[in-house]
Amino acid sequence: MDNSIHSGLSDLGGNYMSKIEINEDTEHNMFGIYKNTFLALTIMTIVEVAASYLPDGAYVTVILLLLAVAKAALVGAVFMHIKYDKTPWLLTLSVFVVPLAAGSILIFNVWKDWRGVAGA
């Protein structure tokens, strides 16, 4: 299922900017894209819930994290229109990557400089 959605997305994303002014059926396409995105998100959520019932282990955690990131990226790219922006990378970098990087320095040091053992 992922493949078809993705090819659909990139197909449209590339020409979106030029299409929107002139092409009438962009309208139709956008609604379709939203619907597909919504479906993909729903399916991934179901997979996630199922995976969380698997016995704990590193691989389950990794799968869950990857799914979460994929879902978040989908929301950002499609619903928030980052994909259709003139410079998606600039936007992603300045709004998501830089604050995340700054925050990660904090988190890394908090974790590294932890004193004692925490409770539960």
d(CA 77, CA 69): 12
Q: Which residues contact 117 (CB under 8 A, 6 or more apart)?
A: none
Site for other proteins in 59-118 (CB under 8 A): 61, 64-65, 67-68, 71-72, 75-76, 78-80, 85-86, 91, 94-96, 98-100, 102-107, 109-118
Query: Do residues 52 and 59 touch, judged by C-beta distance below 8 A?
Result: no
Q: Which segments of 23-97 does DSSP mark as H helices, in order?
A: 26-52, 58-74, 88-91
| Contact status: 5 vs other proteins (CB under 8 A) | no
Q: Which residues bind other proteins (CB under 8 A)?
A: 27, 30-31, 34-35, 37-38, 41-42, 45-46, 48-49, 51-53, 56, 61, 64-65, 67-68, 71-72, 75-76, 78-80, 85-86, 91, 94-96, 98-100, 102-107, 109-120
